[in-house]
């Protein structure tokens, strides 16, 4: 999803808003359905007493739905409400590409927005771009995340409990609890199907690196161009190492290994009709681009839904 409010080069820090609820499959659709014919949602939609009945969930979950719809780029703030994103409309509208968020590429695009673009999800971005340990626990991540938050915004005072809750929600978004806890813990989060994170022992986690079979080349190409536009606008080529290892790159955010990235880049020429092309000359591996329109970007996503 394209979030017009995530301005290039600006890091929006946010460590709360989800009310400790991981993103669920139908929540993005629930937010989208509140839009009028002009694709506008008044802010009162999420705060009026009628919101509980309209969304069919409790008050805290309504707040969580609002947060996730913003964080995933389904809508962005405009005036006294929210404007629904054009690409999100194509995906979630009745008869759209994926109206019930069942296709894994919807989850991949949501993950890209959270960990790659980082509009309202600082912990998600930090976890997937800065944590390199082979295994880790939530407790081991708390102090490094606190340092990262202080570096980003020294004036913003964050409590240890706020960061701890944010980390717990982030980890449960990808690796749901398998035993114990409340019934809420068993509601399958949208991002859990991606297989990016696993709980190797109780409370101990590890990334799953390697090829991602459910990630379509269209979603990968969309993420690559989005990353390119925000970090190297005006450059006609990008080094393989940048695509694989740079902060906010598809390689880091999707936890792809080098061979998987190379295979995807090689296939881009056919997939994009030559608008993206791979070269490997004298050990210099690069991907090249021709001018791409907004419609070209949308078409990459459309093809991901076959």
Using the predicted structure, report yes or no on whether residue 202 has a pLDDT greater than 60: yes
217-304 architecture in CATH? Answer: Orthogonal Bundle (1.10)
What's the mean pLDDT in 143-167?
90
**What's the pLDDT score for residue 12?**
60
Which helix (DSSP H) or strand (DSSP E) does residue 78 occupy?
strand 75-78
Confidence of residue 118 (pLDDT cuts 50, 70, 90): confident
- Alpha-carbon distance 29 to 27, whole Å? 5
Confidence of residue 5 (pLDDT cuts 50, 70, 90): very low
Any idea of the CA torsion for 138, 142, 148, 149, to the nearest 10 degrees?
Answer: 110
Confidence of residue 306 (pLDDT cuts 50, 70, 90): confident
φ, ψ for residue 266, nearest 5 deg: -60, -35
Using the predicted structure, report yes or no on whether residue 6 has a pLDDT greater than 70: no
Q: Contact at 8 Å (CB) between 276 and 218?
A: no
Using the predicted structure, report yes or no on whether residue 16 has a pLDDT greater than 90: no
**What's the pLDDT score for residue 41?**
97
pLDDT in tens, 17-33: 899 999 999 999 999 99
**What's the pLDDT score for residue 267?**
96
Query: Residue 55, Cα to own-chain centre: how many angstroms?
Result: 23
**What's the pLDDT score for residue 13?**
75
Edge-to-edge order in the sheet of strand 276-281 = 237-239, 284-289, 276-281
Secondary structure of residue 116 in the 3-state scheme: helix
Ordered by start, the domain boundaries in the chain are 27-207, 217-304
**What's the pLDDT score for residue 97?**
98
What's the mean pLDDT in 204-225?
97
Which helix (DSSP H) or strand (DSSP E) does residue 279 occupy?
strand 276-281
Using the predicted structure, report yes or no on whether residue 153 has a pLDDT greater than 80: yes
pTM: 0.93
- Alpha-carbon distance 227 to 248, whole Å? 7
Confidence of residue 142 (pLDDT cuts 50, 70, 90): very high
**What's the pLDDT score for residue 45?**
97
pLDDT in tens, 249-297: 999 999 999 999 999 999 999 999 999 999 999 889 999 999 999 999 9
Which residue's entry shows tokens 């340092």?
A: 147
Which residue's entry shows tokens 């990008």?
A: 238
Using the predicted structure, report yes or no on whether residue 209 has a pLDDT greater than 50: yes
Confidence of residue 10 (pLDDT cuts 50, 70, 90): very low
Percent of the chain with pLDDT over 90: 84
**What's the pLDDT score for residue 155?**
80
Handedness of CA 25, 31, 34, 39 (dihedral sign): negative
- The residue that leads in pLDDT, 109 or 233, is 109
Using the predicted structure, report yes or no on whether residue 4 has a pLDDT greater than 70: no
């Amino acid at each position: 999803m394209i979030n017009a409010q995530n301005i290039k080069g600006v890091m929006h820090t946010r460590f709360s808003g989800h009310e400790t609820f991981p993103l669920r499959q139908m929540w993005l659709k629930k937010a989208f359905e509140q839009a009028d014919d002009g694709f506008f949602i008044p802010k009162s939609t999420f705060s009026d007493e009628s919101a509980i009945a309209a969304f069919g969930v409790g008050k805290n979950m309504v707040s969580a739905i609002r947060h996730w719809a913003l964080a995933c780029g389904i809508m962005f703030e405009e005036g006294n409400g929210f404007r629904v994103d054009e690409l999100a409309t194509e995906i979630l509208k009745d008869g759209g590409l994926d109206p019930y968020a069942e296709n894994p590429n919807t989850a991949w695009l949501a993950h890209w927005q959270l960990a790659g673009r980082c509009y309202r999800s600082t912990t998600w971005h930090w976890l997937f771009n800065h944590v390199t340990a082979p295994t880790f626990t939530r407790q081991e991540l708390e102090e490094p995340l606190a340092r990262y938050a202080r570096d980003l915004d020294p004036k913003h005072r964050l409590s240890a409990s706020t960061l701890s809750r944010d980390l717990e929600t982030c980890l449960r978004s990808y690796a749901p609890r398998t035993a114990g806890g409340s019934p809420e813990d068993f509601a399958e989060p949208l991002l859990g199907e991606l297989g990016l994170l696993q709980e190797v022992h109780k409370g101990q986690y590890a990334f799953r690196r390697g090829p991602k079979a459910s990630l379509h080349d269209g979603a990968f190409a969309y993420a690559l161009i989005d990353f390119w536009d925000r970090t190297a606008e005006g450059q006609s080529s990008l080094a393989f190492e940048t695509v694989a290892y740079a902060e906010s790159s598809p390689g880091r955010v999707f936890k792809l290994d080098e061979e998987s990235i190379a295979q995807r880049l090689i296939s881009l020429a056919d997939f994009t009709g030559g608008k993206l092309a791979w070269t490997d000359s004298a050990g210099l591996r690069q991907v090249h681009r021709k001018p791409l329109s907004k419609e070209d970007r949308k078409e990459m996503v459309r093809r991901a839904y076959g």
